[in-house]
A and B are shown apart, each in its own frame.
Chain A
Amino acid sequence: MNTVRRVLLQGAGVLAAGLLAPIAALAATWNKEAFGAKSAPDALKSIGATHAAPSGDVVIEAPEIAENGAVVPIEVTSNVPGTRSIAVVVEKNPFPLAAKFDFLEGALPYVKVNLKMGETSDVRVVAEAADGKRYTASKNIKVTIGGCGG
């Protein structure tokens, strides 16, 4: 257990230093390239979603306007048959890929999560079908400044 922990810590240290080193095999996968991408096109490319087809089967429920960017609730449902994964990309965030969910046998392609948004942005969701095809939808969410600023 201690060894695992130490290896993971080293992995995190390397990650923080910005070097490319594979995280120990014992750790769960975390797509460093995709999560490290600094633009939406790069992030989409690294998850193979550059040519994702717009689809009404990818349903995003989120507020049009958020009172605070620190917590923006987003609910995603994929009606794409055989959805294997759902990725959520906040296009204007410094690191646009926010999360990726892989659904194994037994889970429905649905997730609800709170995200941080640095500014008003399109939020893009990419669903991956069983055959590897990608489908996408996006929604613009406005982030506002409130309060006295004290």
Chain B
Amino acid sequence: MRAVLCGAALALTIAPAMAQKSPYADYQRMAAENAPVELYELAGEEAWAKKQGPKNVSLERCDLGQGPGVLKGAYAGLPRYFADADRVMDLETRLLYCMMTLQGRAREEATKRVFGNADHASEMEVLSAYIARQSNGMPIAPGTSHPKEKAAYALGQKLYFHRAGPWDFSCASCHGEEGKRIRMSELPVLYKPQYAGPLMATWPAYRVSTSAFVTLQWRINDCYRQMRMPEPAYASDATVALIDFITVTAQGTPYRGPSIKR
């Protein structure tokens, strides 16, 4: 009896590449239902209203694309082109812009600790949690019509397939073919909507393996770390372009985050 059970278990372990439904689907559903993301949303609500910087004002007048202070649906509409900055911006890049313009903070100070840890989440992380929640249920709809939005998509696509560094990796080295895994982790093919959709619908997220809340800027940064490349600057055109490329690929998918990741 035991041998039969073990055989079945082994088959399950080996099957994921071929399975229609991910063997982790139940895990991901239950873990998402039981994720501690609300703690970060609470902290984000406070950070949004906190007066700080040389101008001693909050971020409450920050325009995330839907008008000053409008949070509903703002995350689902990003990245997009902002005329005031003449740039395509994702959520974190836009928040940084507001910190610098509205609050008068220096870039160096505002980006000193953008990636937190299990003991202490960063301001950007908690703000991302709070703001993303208010797009829950809305379709992902980044800007795609402005020439700079088109350029960001094109650059992101080129970067995605660009092989470089000591290990000759591009994003597509791991996220380029269907049905592949790294260890037991299934690899979403992020230039295809059927993979980009479910993935982008759940970022930012509480990351189980580090017990920390993480953002898309972190995700891109950490991919380049593991690709053995130098470090991309936070909120740079390169990181925004990659986020834009994958978000545009995911467009139309209802956003259901913030959620949980392995």
Contact = CB atoms under 8 A, between A and B. Distances in A.
Query: Within the complex, are A and B direct neighbours (CB within 8 Å)?
Result: yes
Interface in A31-56: none
A65 B24 contact: yes
A10 interface: no
Contacts of A71: 31, 34, 208, 260
A142 B185 contact: no
Interface residues of B, number: 24
Interface in A97-150: 112-114, 140, 142, 144-150
B262 A147 contact: yes
B209 A65 contact: no
A57 interface: no
Contacts of B24: 63, 65-67
Name the residue among A62, A72, A148 with the largest chain B CB count within 10 angstroms.
A148
A66 B183 contact: no
B117 interface: no
A64 B208 contact: no
B184 A67 contact: yes
A67 B262 contact: yes
B34 A146 contact: no
A62 B33 CA distance: 12
A147 B23 contact: no
A147 B27 contact: no
Contacts of B30: 61-63, 73, 75
Contacts of A73: 27, 30-31, 33-34
29 contacts: A63-B26, A63-B27, A63-B30, A64-B12, A64-B23, A65-B12, A65-B23, A66-B27, A67-B28, A67-B208, A68-B208, A70-B208, A70-B209, A70-B211, A71-B208, A71-B260, A73-B27, A73-B30, A73-B31, A73-B34, A112-B34, A114-B31, A145-B184, A146-B183, A146-B185, A146-B262, A147-B183, A148-B182, A148-B226
